[in-house]
Amino acid sequence: MLKAFLTVHPGSIYALCAPPNPVEADEITPEQISRLLEQLAEQFQYVVVDTAPGLPEIGLAAMEQCTDVVWVSAMDIPSVRGLRAGLDVLRQLDILPESRHVVLNMADAKTGLTVQDIESTIGAPVDVSIPRSRAVAFSTNRGIPVLQEPVKDPAAKGLNRLVDRFNGVAGQVSTQTAPKGGCLNETFRAYQCSASKDPSRRGWNAAGRAPAR
């Protein structure tokens, strides 16, 4: 029954799209999100949640169902400051997810910032850097994931490194110097979910893997 509401991509990816009208989205409750993710976890090995900016209740509800959180930041000062602010809030509330991955998106040394600058600002290591690439925008506009393209772009290599972290290839995920927590995965952009709660603002995003059954 649930799959009848999912959009199927030729790459065997099932997507549950957001309501076309933002007003309709406001009617969705945290309880509905929790139940939905439980049902999806029963049918799929991986469930990725792309959270809205900020810390809405439904975002927190999604985090509680996740096993991993992915924080995604661009390589600019507003994004980095946003990510730091979000991480600081989670640390203060003692809800910073233990299984987490920090991703630097559109990484470019010409921005004037270095990976070390960003790490010292947010107080956590950058786990994966995805270089700036035209191929990503091109693949998005075509509707074909860049990882499925025959010619492997440097950005695809970065994405593969992120995927490897969920397949256990990268070994232990970051625990960073922060207290244990329990919440989901942009005040920056983060895109992966964890068995805890995470914020999402202009600087983070959320995504996650379904809990093991």
Beta-bridge partner residues of 169: none
Per-residue pLDDT tens digits of the chain, which is 213 residues long = 788 889 998 878 899 988 888 888 889 999 999 999 999 999 999 999 988 766 678 877 887 788 888 889 999 999 999 889 888 877 887 777 778 899 999 999 888 999 999 999 999 999 999 999 999 989 889 888 888 888 788 999 999 999 999 886 544 444 443 333 322 233 223 333 333 333 333 334 444 444 434
| DSSP label at residue 91 | H
Amino acid 53: pLDDT: 67
Question: Which ranges constitute the DSSP H helices of 44-153?
Answer: 57-63, 77-93, 115-122, 134-142
Amino acid 107: pLDDT: 92
Q: How far is CA 88 from CA 19, 83, 166, 177, 179, in A?
A: 32, 8, 25, 12, 11
Element (H, E) at 107: strand 100-107
Question: Domains plus CATH for the chain?
Answer: 30-204 (3.40.50.300)
Place of tokens 């927190």: 60
Q: How far apart are CA 112 and CA 76, in angstroms?
A: 9
